[in-house]
């Protein structure tokens, strides 16, 4: 064991693989529960899309969170991990009929609906089963988040949600339908948000909308403000647990929650991001014309974020203590975007060294692909290895 990693155990395993530090995960869940308890009417669902590793999911379920799912596959994964159907919400801009039917069969808590055509299909399918489906409308609040363009979702140019202008019409349409029950409003402005000002902008917008609705005698039981809280990719050790205190306090202070309402959150990255690390082995150190390459056995197929979003993941050579040198750290995939980082300082690298790519618990393993006929990386928890 060097530092926080069981290196001897790592050497016995085939690389690359994901390693989940369960203590970090449990500590994170404990902080969420502690902060939420201050406010009473806050309810947190975990966004399964961030990481659906079965062991990770079970621990989150034990931690008491609900599940926010965006596909039939995620609903199945959540049910398998023991989440109660009554704690599952189903979101997503394109739900297939069989996925809606699955949600109806399980009697999940709520469908987050993104268009009138979708509402009509849910009403129709629920009628065919003699059921009434709870629905919330995802409203596009036209609030920009200061984050990467590919992960901002709350602008009117994005495909998500129903525009504020159309909201009244959708609510009226729902009233006419006998097999849907309108219970809430849903929002989500983007991901990896560290500026609380973005969430304040969302709260202001929700307050405005609520005033408008109440003027029409429309009262909504549940407000769901989505997810989006970011993590500190630069300092995974120092800032292992995101600032949930500031996050929940922002909503408690800014959102005018009515006495009869519950406030829902759908957090993904902030729950699982810091507990996960991608462990990979150095295949070769190659001297280029004017730089050195560290060629890993992990590539963009195992961790797509750097190639797709130019995302930064802190890298550490966990098997060398020799003075640092600069390397371009790359994978084996036949794409020039298969680069984890350029001019990265690492303790001197040798063939066979283990490189840890930190803060990879969210949108890491779950976004892996089999491109180049590669095997999907496995995921191990600290409880299995230590
Ligand atoms: N709710 C909705 C409706 C969402 O679309 C998302 C994420 C979440 C909740 C959870 O957001 P979080 O708390 O994790 O920020 N693959 C990208 C992130 C895509 C996020 C998609 N939606 C990445 O690797 O950065």
Q: Are residues 75 and 197 in the same domain?
A: yes
Instruction: Report the C-alpha gap between 128 and 295 in whole angstroms.
Output: 56
141 lines ligand 1 (CB under 6 A): no
Token pair recorded at residue 144: 């920009």
Last residue of a domain, one of 217, 244, 271: 271
Please report, for residues 212, 214, 257, 265, 385, the alpha-carbon distance to residue 207 in angstroms, rounded to integers and kept in the order given: 9, 11, 8, 16, 48
Contacts of 217 (CB under 8 A, 6+ apart): none
- Which 3 state secondary structure label does DSSP give 62? helix
pLDDT at 164 over 90: no
pLDDT tens-place string over residues 366-379: 999 999 999 999 99
Q: Are residues 250 and 322 in the same domain?
A: no
Q: Which residues are catalytic?
A: 334
Q: Are residues 244 and 295 in the same domain?
A: no
H/E element holding 177?
Answer: none
* Residue pair 296/332 in contact by the 8 Å Cβ criterion: yes
Q: Kindly give the number of the ligand 1 atom that is closest to the alpha carbon of 112.
A: 3
Instruction: Report the C-alpha gap between 376 and 301 in whole angstroms.
Output: 8
* Residue whose tokens read 């995802």: 138
| Entry pTM | 0.96
Q: Are residues 256 and 338 in the same domain?
A: no
Instruction: Report the C-alpha gap between 173 and 293 in whole angstroms.
Output: 59
Query: Which of 266, 304, 306, 364 to mutate for ligand 1's pocket (most ligand atoms within 8 Å of CB)?
Result: 266
The pLDDT of 228-245, averaged and rounded, is 96
Mean pLDDT of the chain: 95
* Residue pair 296/283 in contact by the 8 Å Cβ criterion: yes
305 lines ligand 1 (CB under 6 A): yes
Contacts of 23 (CB under 8 A, 6+ apart): 382
Any idea what the CATH number is for the domain that residue 125 is in?
Answer: 3.20.20.10
Q: With bands split at pLDDT 50, 70 and 90, how would you rate the model's confidence at 227?
A: very high
360 lines ligand 1 (CB under 6 A): no
91 lines ligand 1 (CB under 6 A): yes
266 lines ligand 1 (CB under 6 A): yes
The pLDDT of 151-156, averaged and rounded, is 61
Q: Kindly give the number of the ligand 1 atom that is closest to the alpha carbon of 153.
A: 5
**DSSP assignments along 185-202, one per residue:** EE---BSSB--HHHHHHH
Q: Are residues 192 and 73 in the same domain?
A: yes
More reliable by pLDDT, 160 or 51:
51
Q: Are residues 189 and 222 in the same domain?
A: yes
- Residue 384 gets the label, from left (phi > 0), alpha (psi -120 to 50) or beta, of alpha
Beta bridge partners of 2: 5
CA-wise closest residue to 377 among 298, 305, 308: 298
The residue nearest atom 19 of ligand 1, judged by CA position, is 151
Residue 285 exposed, middle or buried by CB count within 10 Å (0-12, 13-18, 19+): middle
47 lines ligand 1 (CB under 6 A): yes
The answer to the question of residue 199 being in a domain is: yes
Which pLDDT value is given to residue 147? 64
Q: Are residues 221 and 86 in the same domain?
A: yes
The answer to the question of residue 140 being in a domain is: yes
Q: Are residues 175 and 33 in the same domain?
A: yes
- Which 3 state secondary structure label does DSSP give 343? strand
pLDDT tens-place string over residues 82-105: 999 999 999 999 999 999 999 999
- Give 89 Cα–ligand 1 centroid separation in angstroms: 15
pLDDT tens-place string over residues 207-223: 999 999 999 999 999 99
The answer to the question of residue 1 being in a domain is: no
* Residue whose tokens read 């596959």: 73
Which pLDDT value is given to residue 146? 67
pLDDT tens-place string over residues 20-72: 999 999 999 999 999 999 999 999 999 999 999 999 999 999 999 999 999 99
363 lines ligand 1 (CB under 6 A): yes
Residue 303 exposed, middle or buried by CB count within 10 Å (0-12, 13-18, 19+): buried
Q: Are residues 47 and 103 in the same domain?
A: yes
H/E element holding 47?
Answer: strand 42-47
Instruction: Report the C-alpha gap between 181 and 264 in whole angstroms.
Output: 18
Q: With bands split at pLDDT 50, 70 and 90, how would you rate the model's confidence at 1?
A: very low
CA-wise closest residue to 27 among 281, 311, 382, 302: 382
- Give 355 Cα–ligand 1 centroid separation in angstroms: 27
- Give 307 Cα–ligand 1 centroid separation in angstroms: 17
Domain count of the fold of the chain: 2
Last residue of a domain, one of 271, 288, 314: 271
The answer to the question of residue 356 being in a domain is: yes
The answer to the question of residue 207 being in a domain is: yes
Q: Are residues 132 and 262 in the same domain?
A: yes
Last residue of a domain, one of 222, 246, 271: 271
- Residue 329 gets the label, from left (phi > 0), alpha (psi -120 to 50) or beta, of beta
Q: Sign (positive/negative) of CA torsion 252, 61, 119, 143? A: positive
Query: Which of 32, 49, 308 to mutate for ligand 1's pocket (most ligand atoms within 8 Å of CB)?
Result: 49
pLDDT tens-place string over residues 269-308: 999 999 999 999 999 999 999 999 999 999 999 999 999 9
Q: Kindly give the number of the ligand 1 atom that is closest to the alpha carbon of 50.
A: 14
- Give 91 Cα–ligand 1 centroid separation in angstroms: 12
The answer to the question of residue 264 being in a domain is: yes
CA-wise closest residue to 327 among 303, 366, 355: 355
Binding residues: 228, 266-269, 305, 309, 335, 363
Binding residues for substrate: 269, 305, 309, 335, 363
Binding residues for pyridoxal 5'-phosphate: 228, 266-269, 363
The answer to the question of residue 2 being in a domain is: no
The answer to the question of residue 155 being in a domain is: yes
22 lines ligand 1 (CB under 6 A): no
Any idea what the CATH number is for the domain that residue 358 is in?
Answer: 2.40.37.10
46 lines ligand 1 (CB under 6 A): no
Q: Are residues 95 and 213 in the same domain?
A: yes
Instruction: Report the C-alpha gap between 346 and 4 in whole angstroms.
Output: 17
Instruction: Report the C-alpha gap between 348 and 346 in whole angstroms.
Output: 6
Instruction: Report the C-alpha gap between 295 and 236 in whole angstroms.
Output: 23
361 lines ligand 1 (CB under 6 A): no
Q: With bands split at pLDDT 50, 70 and 90, how would you rate the model's confidence at 132?
A: very high
Owning domain of residue 91: 22-271
Query: Which of 28, 228, 264, 273 to mutate for ligand 1's pocket (most ligand atoms within 8 Å of CB)?
Result: 228
Which pLDDT value is given to residue 153? 62
Provide the pairing of β-strand 133-140 with 180-186.
Answer: parallel
More reliable by pLDDT, 150 or 248:
248
Which pLDDT value is given to residue 159? 73
Query: Which of 32, 43, 268 to mutate for ligand 1's pocket (most ligand atoms within 8 Å of CB)?
Result: 268
Instruction: Report the C-alpha gap between 357 and 201 in whole angstroms.
Output: 34
Q: Are residues 321 and 251 in the same domain?
A: no
């Amino acid at each position: 064991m060097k530092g926080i990693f069981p290196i001897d155990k790592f050497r016995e395993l085939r690389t690359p693989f994901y390693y989940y530090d369960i203590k970090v995960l449990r500590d994170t869940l404990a902080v969420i529960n502690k902060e939420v308890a201050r406010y009473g009417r806050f309810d947190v669902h975990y966004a399964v899309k961030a990481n659906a590793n079965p062991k990770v999911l079970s621990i989150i379920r034990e931690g008491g969170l609900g599940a926010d799912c965006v596909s039939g596959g995620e609903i199945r994964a959540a049910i398998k991990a023991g989440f109660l159907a009554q704690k599952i919400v189903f979101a997503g801009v394109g739900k297939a009929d069989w996925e809606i039917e699955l949600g109806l069969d399980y009697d999940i808590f709520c469908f987050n609906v993104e268009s009138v055509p979708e509402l009509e299909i849910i009403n129709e399918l629920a009628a065919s089963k003699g059921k009434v489906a709870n629905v919330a409308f995802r409203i596009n609040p036209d609030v920009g988040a200061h984050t990467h363009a590919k992960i901002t979702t709350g602008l009117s140019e994005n495909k998500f949600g129903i525009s504020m202008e159309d909201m009244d019409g959708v609510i009226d349409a729902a009233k006419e339908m006998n097999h849907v029950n309108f219970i809430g409003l849903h929002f989500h402005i983007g991901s990896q948000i560290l500026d609380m000002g973005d969430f304040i902008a969302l709260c202001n917008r929700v307050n405005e909308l609520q005033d408008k609705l109440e003027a029409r005698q429309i009262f909504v039981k549940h407000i769901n403000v989505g997810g989006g809280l970011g993590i500190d990719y630069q300092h995974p050790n120092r800032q292992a647990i995101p600032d949930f205190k500031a996050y929940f306090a922002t909503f408690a202070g800014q959102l005018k929650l009515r006495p009869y309402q519950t406030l829902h959150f759908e957090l993904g990255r902030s729950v699982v991001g810091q507990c996960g690390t991608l462990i990979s082995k150095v295949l070769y150190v190659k001297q280029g014309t004017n730089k050195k390459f560290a060629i890993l056995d992990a590539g963009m197929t195992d961790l797509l974020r750097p190639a797709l979003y130019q995302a930064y993941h802190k890298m550490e050579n966990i098997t060398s203590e020799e003075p640092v040198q600069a390397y371009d750290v790359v994978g084996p995939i036949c794409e020039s975007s298969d680069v984890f980082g350029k001019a990265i300082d690492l303790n001197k690298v040798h063939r066979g060294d283990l490189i840890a790519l930190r803060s990879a618990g969210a949108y890491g393993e779950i976004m892996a692909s089999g491109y180049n006929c590669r095997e999907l990386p496995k995921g191990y928890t600290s409880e299995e290895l230590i």
